[in-house]
Amino acid sequence: MIEITINKRKISVEEGTTILAAAESLGIKIPALCNHNILKPYGACRMCVVEVHANGEKEITTSCNYEIHEPIAVFTDSEEALNTRRGVIEMHLARWPNVPAIKALAKANGVDKPRYEHPLKNESKNACVLCGRCVRVCSEGIWEDIITFAGRGAERKVSMPFDKFYERCAGCGACAWVCPTGAIQVTNEANHPVRPKMIRNWGMKVTSQMITLDDQQCRMRKIGTGNLVEIMDDYDLLPTLNYQYGSHENAKKINSWVWQNEYFTQGLPDGCWYGCSMSCAHAIEKFELKTGPYKGRKVLVDGPEYETIAACGSNIGNFDPHYVAELNFYCDTYGIDTISFGTALAFAMECYENGVITKEHTGGLELTFGNKEAACEVLHQMSRGEGFGMILGKGIRNMKKLFIEEYGADLDFVEDIGMENKGLEFSEYVTKESLAQQGGYCMTNKGAQHDEAWLIFMDQVNNQIPTFENKADALHYFPMFRTWFGLVGLCKLPWNDISPADNAQTDEPHKIPEHVEGYCKYFTGMTGIELDSDKLIRMSEKVYNFQRVFNLRLGYGTREHDRVPYRAMGPVTNTEYESRQERYDKQLKEKVGIDPESMSTDEKRLKLREYREDQYRQLQDAVYKRRGWTSDGVPKLETLKKLGIDFPEVVEVVKRYPDV
Amino acid sequence: MIQINEEKIEWRDGMTVRDAMNEVKYSFPLVIVSVNGKVIEQKHLDKHIINDNDKIKVFHLISGG
């Protein structure tokens, strides 16, 4: 810390702080025009000049870009500083006499009217004052250079290349938002929103947060969701070897820094959503393929994202980033989901390692964990509808049936380790230590995925939802909230992959209230219909219950279909138990109330299982009650009525079940 | 001894909040940290020195793709 004085008031600042920022923290306002809190200091307008005394020398200098590296004395309103500032303001006023921002600065600093006529006088009140905020936000904030300064001296102006409209401009409006004079305005609202300003203001709020906070938070713009690899590994949540474990010593070989430093080549905003300031998708260029029909060709790989890294990496024991990218490319090319592929392959590999299937079934493929070449071959076979690839392509649910009925597999073992619910393969999180997340995965309408609710930290790390009722509340709110994104077709990442700087001070920081409100504003701005967070949840509840009834009509949607494969609940094998023995023993002692000392691993594992399965049953009771469903998971008539969806066809479906 | 969420770890002289978080591998960046009930700003986590018997609460926001 460095001690300085500003107008003789002492303040301690971190080295590198600007004078302008230090003055602000003391409540001393220094006039500035080109400065903006989301942009880097620029020093263009020169209005923020102050007098600085350092090492016995005195100078008049701009305060916005003066970094403090030694003890100094600053005078913001000394006669010399004021005279210089007034001179600068006078020049601005002479050239742009009717711009409100300039007039206000002139008035506040005692500049009446200019003493001379400016040869470039522009009398428009929306004149461009060449502060450069728009040019800088386009470059620094949006990572584009669509507008820039053109011309020199008197000819200097803001322009697109060759003075023509540049079609790369997505119309994000960031330039207009930072413009202090209104020289840039959005006039063509292509989608005809009812209240465009409401949308833009919220959009820019998120963009501002991306620009200023993302580097310290999730690095979405640099690496995207891949930032989670090492984090999940640290918390024992990274699926490894078909969800047996949550971390691996080789995880570092596929962590985010490997992708950022050695693979991703495009530091550009991607085309996922034109103009999006989060730009979380990333790509590998000139990637030379080692297998398959395009072997030897150099291609562009779109990704990988976290889920792909875990599914086609750690979960199948593959810690070679090249092969993660290779599987990513071919899944994309063949139109196969990387999550379902990886999770299904992880299951098949564990079956192979346990003798459930052999080379006879795999057509000679050595399907051990980590066999990356075999992984690629299965994928190529799947695309051709051949061999074991054809079997894997049918998914875990069908594989389990086949292995049990045709290959004589042990039903219990296969059911325990086959990570699917309602026929959908699990996405890539280990849920063993979070009961709420087990519910998040399986008390769902569309099967095992984390899109509806991700509650692991709330449950496992924060211990924020300790009771069944607390968990049930979370398993009501979050699935409803996240269903809403699907209803309106909006991306959910700006909700929780960037967090406002003052989020900690809110009542419910885990919900990121400012961003929930922002989504409501977005909806209202677009449609004109007022929306708040309660109404938002109600909108989703209707759809969510409809979906449940739809499932029932197709023969799913009751309690039995919300079953969790035991691997998602706890250790299936003794090896798994022993790998986290300290944790499990402690739970037996503290939660189950038995002394594990003299028990064998088999006995302990089964006791833990009994306890955890019972916990899940109790959670089901609480969740169904909270959602207004029967104990079999069927929406009650009163729930359908309350939501206004008690149409005859709907009622007919649920009436077949008891207690509705 | 200090407490960080549910875990108890050894205290050592000069330990910062970040040191304690590293010890229990709390690497997730979207967290709200308080020491004895007082919220510590993100930028001070590396410098804030903790005392023996302090209680650190690290509130993790929601993650998950």
pLDDT over threshold 80, residue A275: no
Query: Residue A269: its pLDDT value, please?
Result: 67
pLDDT over threshold 80, residue B65: no
pLDDT over threshold 70, residue A14: yes
Expressed as residue numbers, the domain containing A405 is 224-425
B39 touches chain A (CB under 8 A): yes
Residue A116: inside a domain: no
Nearest CA-CA distance, residue A437 and chain B, Å: 11
Nearest CA-CA distance, residue A236 and chain B, Å: 10
| Same domain membership, residue A395 and residue A335 | yes
| Same domain membership, residue A340 and residue A412 | yes
Query: Residue A189: its pLDDT value, please?
Result: 74
Instruction: Name chain B contacts of A462, Cβ cutoff 8 Å.
Output: 5, 59-60
Residues A181 and A99 sit within 8 Å (Cβ to Cβ) = yes
Domain boundaries, chain B: 2-60
Cβ-defined contact of B29 to A509 (cutoff 8 Å): no
Distance between CA atoms of A633 and A445, rounded to whole angstroms?
Answer: 11
Write down the mean pLDDT value for chain B.
Answer: 93
Per residue in A51-88, pLDDT (tens digit) is: 999 999 999 999 999 999 999 999 999 999 999 999 99
| Same domain membership, residue A569 and residue A460 | yes
B65 touches chain A (CB under 8 A): yes
Per residue in A503-533, pLDDT (tens digit) is: 988 999 989 999 999 999 999 999 999 999 9
Distance between CA atoms of B2 and B56, rounded to whole angstroms?
Answer: 8
Distance between CA atoms of B40 and B48, rounded to whole angstroms?
Answer: 8
Query: Residue B63: its pLDDT value, please?
Result: 78
Of the CA atoms within 13 Å of residue A559, those in its CB half-sphere come to 17
Residues A471 and A458 sit within 8 Å (Cβ to Cβ) = no
Q: In degrees, to the nearest 5, what angle opens at C-alpha A468 toward C-alphas A413 and A536? A: 105
| Same domain membership, residue A606 and residue A528 | yes
Distance between CA atoms of A499 and A485, rounded to whole angstroms?
Answer: 18
Instruction: Tell me how crowded residue A149 is: count the other CB atoms within 10 A of its CB.
Output: 13
The CATH superfamily holding the domain B2-60 is Beta-grasp domain (3.10.20.30)
| Same domain membership, residue A459 and residue A376 | no
CATH number at residue A392: 1.10.569.10
Count CB pairs under 8 A between chains A and B: 71
Mutate to test the interface with B, among A216, A220, A225, A234 (most CBs of B within 10 A): A234
CATH number at residue A46: 3.10.20.740
Strands (E) across A375-419 are located at: none
In chain A, the number of structural domains is: 4
Instruction: Name chain B contacts of A307, Cβ cutoff 8 Å.
Output: 65
3-state secondary structure chain B: CEEECCEEECCCCCCEHHHHHHHCCCCCCCEEEEECCEEECHHHCCCCECCCCCEEEEEECCCCC
| Same domain membership, residue A450 and residue A382 | no
Residue A155: inside a domain: yes
Which candidate, A504, A503, A540, A505, places its Cα nearest to that of A518?
Answer: A503
Residues 6+ away with beta carbon under 8 Å from A605:
A570, A571, A573, A574, A577, A584
Residue range A648-659: mean pLDDT, rounded: 96
| Same domain membership, residue A520 and residue A452 | yes
Instruction: Name chain A contacts of B61, Cβ cutoff 8 Å.
Output: 457, 496, 499, 503, 509-510, 512
Cβ-defined contact of A509 to B5 (cutoff 8 Å): no
Distance between CA atoms of A294 and A291, rounded to whole angstroms?
Answer: 7
Residue type, B34: S
Residue range A637-650: mean pLDDT, rounded: 97
Which candidate, A419, A404, A397, places its Cα nearest to that of A343?
Answer: A419
**pTM listed for this prediction:** 0.91
Q: Residue A9 pairs with which residues in a beta bridge? A: A6
Q: What is the largest CA-CA distance in chain B?
A: 38
pLDDT tier at A183, thresholds 50, 70, 90: very high
| Same domain membership, residue A568 and residue A634 | yes
Helices A513-527 & A533-553, crossing angle to 10 degrees? 80
A456 touches chain B (CB under 8 A): yes
| Same domain membership, residue A540 and residue A395 | no
Of A425, A456, A478, the domain-final residue? A425
Tokens linked to A349: 């590999």
Cβ-defined contact of A231 to B61 (cutoff 8 Å): no
Residue range A473-482: mean pLDDT, rounded: 94
Residue range A607-634: mean pLDDT, rounded: 98
